[in-house]
Amino acid sequence: MEPTIEQKIRTYRRHFHITPELAWLEYSTATFIADELMALGFEVKRAQELMDTKNLMGLPDKAANDLAYEKAVATYGVKKVESFAHNCTAVAGIFDCGEGPCVALRFDMDALPISESDETNHLPYQKGFISKNEGVMHSCGHDAHMAIGLGLAHCLSENKESLRGRIILLFQPAEEGVRGADPIVNSGFLKSVDYLLAAHLWSNIPLGKIVCSQNGTMATDKLDITFYGKSAHAGICPEEGNNAILAAANTILELNEIQFKGQDLRRVNVGCIEGGTARNIIADNASLKVELRAKSQAVENELLSELEQIVKHSALKQSCTYKIEKVGAASAAKGDDSLAHLIEEEARQMNCFDELVLSDCVNRGSEDFTSLMSDVQSRGAKACFIGIGASLPEKKLQHHTPTFDINEDAMFLASELFFRMIQRLNRRH
């Protein structure tokens, strides 16, 4: 008997959960998705067909890249994998159904550098679909998001005769660290889109709740800052050195202060500091990994400008030089109210959601879907970012943790909602 679409979605999710890949290393994931889309009759676009690859941010080192690429080649063969080489891991399926609107849906692909729990009450461990890639885990639900996309692909393939317009299923790499959207924006791939949608499943929101337009997503910049000083003997002649660690330390203290300025929500965090070589040597290098976040793009721009001045001043005090490298970024964006109303109407008609929220401004961190939203909205298209509850009964699971999991029933609700929205938007034109 042919599996139902629900069964296929569950199987897809567990396949992706077993084989997670980090940002820009989604070689096996992208190849698998391309194969599935082709088998369902989609026109498939790969890599540089939908990415501007000139300035990819936050790339992995060569050793990690080569390992992931060769692993994919061993599984799928070089002919299938080579188009995704050099971190070009975006893939899209296009369904052309004639005259009508262009509706695009985005599904993120990458996992996180987290070792998955092997506790006996962790469902993926119980059911035998725990990650097989050591130190890597789908700990934010992207495995489920991709499964939703492929489940939707099956729905579309089975109902092509009833559809109109052009439908794009976009599978985006490198959402973690907000790196993957910009290359797609810069390529112009979405220039013909009339409607753009994405959904995020939330393990800390109850199953049955939907937020039709999440508007609390924050603008952000991810930065690597390096100070270059001059080494000297710390006991005999420290005055002959230029202390890069002191420049970094001053930067940390001053950055901590600027997030408390003004009334708007601002976040500044230094998540990592490295520097120096020995306790008796004036450090000639130090580096910081920093992120900025703000509720609006204007405030984010202010934060970035203040950071640049602080880094410059701190380096000058120690006679050091410095480099600021942006390794990720996402804009702030607001969903379109009219589109949110349509989502609410369709969700209500499904009779599966018992709590419907038209829109909210809850701070759920940052997400680079907002950059895609801002891009299409600047050309008159409409976009919304949907939040769907996916908590497990009696479990309070958080994202980006070793015990993360989702209620798989939420995947089926999301896939059906997307299909209904495509039909609804077809009827409007």
Would residue 108 show up in a list of annotated catalytic residues for this protein?
yes
Q: What separation in angstroms does the CA of 323 have from each of 22, 115, 258, 300, 326?
A: 26, 32, 20, 20, 10
Q: How far apart are CA 239 and CA 242, in angstroms?
A: 8
Written as tens digits, the pLDDT of the chain (429 aa) is: 788 999 999 999 999 999 999 999 999 999 999 999 999 999 999 999 999 999 899 999 999 999 999 999 999 999 999 999 999 999 999 999 989 999 999 999 999 999 999 999 999 999 999 999 999 999 999 999 999 999 999 999 999 888 999 999 999 999 999 999 999 999 999 999 999 999 999 999 999 999 999 998 999 999 999 999 999 999 999 999 999 999 999 999 999 988 877 667 889 999 999 999 999 999 999 999 999 999 889 999 999 999 999 999 999 999 999 999 999 999 989 999 999 999 999 999 999 999 999 999 998 889 999 999 999 999 999 999 999 999 998 888 999 999 999 999 999 999 999 999 999 998 766
Q: Map out the domains of the chain as residue ranges.
A: 5-217+333-427, 220-330
CB neighbourhood size of 30 (10 A): 26
CATH 2.60.40.10 fits 220-330, yes or no: no
Q: Catalytic residue, from 176, 291, 375, 405: name it.
A: 176
Alpha-carbon distance 212 to 206, whole Å? 15
Active-site position among 21, 108, 110, 302: 108
Strand partners, 198: 106, 385
176 annotated active-site: yes
Kindly report the pTM of this predicted structure: 0.94
Cβ burial 325-356 (10 Å sphere, 16+ → b, else e): eebbbbbbbbbbeebbebbbebbeeeebbeee
In Å, how far from its chain's centre is CA 276? 33
- What class has domain 5-217+333-427? alpha beta
Query: What are the structure tokens assigned to 2, written together?
Result: 């042919």
Q: Rounded to whole angstroms, how far apart are CA atoms 89 and 50?
A: 10
